[in-house]
Amino acid sequence: MSNWFETNPTKSIISYTILIIGVVWVFYKFTFEESKIDNYKSQIETKQATISQFQARIEYLEEENLKFKSELKDYEDWNSKSENPTLFYKSQYEKTILTRDNSVKTNISKNTDLKNIKISKSESYINKDLDIIIGLTDVSVNYGCFLNISYGNSLNINFENKNIGDTILLESNKGKIKVTINKVNYVYSNIEISIHI
């Protein structure tokens, strides 16, 4: 066999080169290509999780829509049977305005905590005593929330992708205040916070 290599150096170099190329190709195929496949699989799993979250949200919104339709039908029936529906709607509107005003004017003494304040997307929490406004602009799929906070002289500060357990420290001439994210709910598009003075 060694005589063949000595007598055919060109053929032996070509065969060694082909052998090395084959080994390198097999190594590349099983390392880099497999890692690409694994990467694609993880991306697909992430997308499937996102789709399932969207589906859960759609199902919830469809249920809410059905409830609203049934309530609307009840109101329409009540309207058709009532002699003066305007008085009913006016009283309900006044009750709603009064409850909103009471929720805004929360009297808080020093060294007290406000816990379990729920804020829905595109709504804001207003506390005149603390001079703070907290607005929830969005809730992301990975359960992060995007807030817009005004406190004291600091107006419209954006806080992006805050997660459960994150604390936002605010300082102004009014004093120090801590806002803690307690719960983030992507399906219902709301969060729950605590304010510590």
Query: Which segment of 55-69, 87-101, 159-173 scores lowest on mean pLDDT?
Result: 87-101
Say whether pLDDT at 167 is over 80: yes
Per-chain mean pLDDT for the chain: 78
Summarised one tens digit per residue, pLDDT across range 6-60 is 677 777 778 778 888 888 888 777 777 777 788 888 888 888 888 888 888 888 8
Q: What is the pLDDT confidence band of residue 5, given thresholds at 50, 70 and 90?
A: low
pLDDT greater at residue 109 or residue 183: 183
DSSP string, 90-150: HHHHHHHHHHHHHHH-----TT-EEEEEEEETT-EEEETTTTEEEEEEEE-TTS-EEEEEE
Task: With cut-offs at 50, 70 and 90, classify the pLDDT of residue 191.
Answer: very high
Contact between 173 and 157 (Cβ < 8 Å): no
Enter the tokens of residue 152: 């004291």
> How far, in Å, are 65, 146, 196 from residue 187 at the CA level?
15, 15, 27
pLDDT band at 62 (very low <50, low <70, confident <90, very high): confident
Bridge-based pairing of strands 175-185 and 167-172 is antiparallel
Give the separation between CA 139 and CA 137, rounded to whole angstroms.
7
What is the mean predicted confidence (pLDDT) over 137-145? 85
* 3-state DSSP assignment of residue 82: coil
| pTM exceeds cut of 0.85 | no
Average pLDDT over residues 148-164: 86
Q: What is the mean pLDDT of residues 149-156?
A: 83
Q: Give the model's pLDDT for residue 180.
A: 92
Q: What is the pLDDT of residue 193?
A: 92
Under a CB-based contact definition with an 8 Å cutoff, are residues 108 and 127 in contact?
yes
Backbone conformation region of residue 158, classed left if phi is above 0, alpha if psi is from -120 to 50, else beta:
beta
Task: Tabulate helix, strand, coil % of the chain (nearest 5).
Answer: 50, 30, 20
**Measured in Å, how far apart are the chain's first and last C-alpha atoms?**
88
pLDDT band, very low/low/confident/very high, at 181 (cuts 50, 70, 90): very high
Q: Going by DSSP bridges, is the β-strand pair 154-162/167-172 parallel, antiparallel, or unpaired? A: unpaired
> Helix (H, G, I), strand (E, B), or coil: what is residue 151?
strand
Percent of the chain with pLDDT over 70: 79
